[in-house]
Amino acid sequence: LGLWATASDEGTGVFVAGKKLASIGVALRRWVNLHGIAINVDVAPDAFAGIRPCGRSPDLMSDLSRALARKVTLDECKAAARKALPRLLGL
């Protein structure tokens, strides 16, 4: 979507301008690998106010809509992921 994202040495996720826009999870349970991603597309500003996401301050969290300063839809995000993932995975 045109954002420059970075990783963080302080935890898993995707960060833009110091704000966390996506979370990445990996776990192993009973010899089964569980993994996933959660991308914040258009989240209410106070959505994280009552929790500590990944043990961090709720102020760290943001979403694509705020980072791009425009409304981003879930369909737009899905289309961008479908286009980018094969290239990123070397397929």
User: Residues, the chain, total?
Assistant: 91
Q: Which residues are catalytic?
A: 54
Kindly write down the DSSP assignment for every residue of 6-32, as one continuous string. EEETTEEEEEETTEEEEEEEEEEETTE
Give the pLDDT band of residue 10 (cuts 50, 70, 90): low
The CA distance from 15 to 13, in Å, is 6
User: What pLDDT sits at residue 89?
Assistant: 85
pTM: 0.80
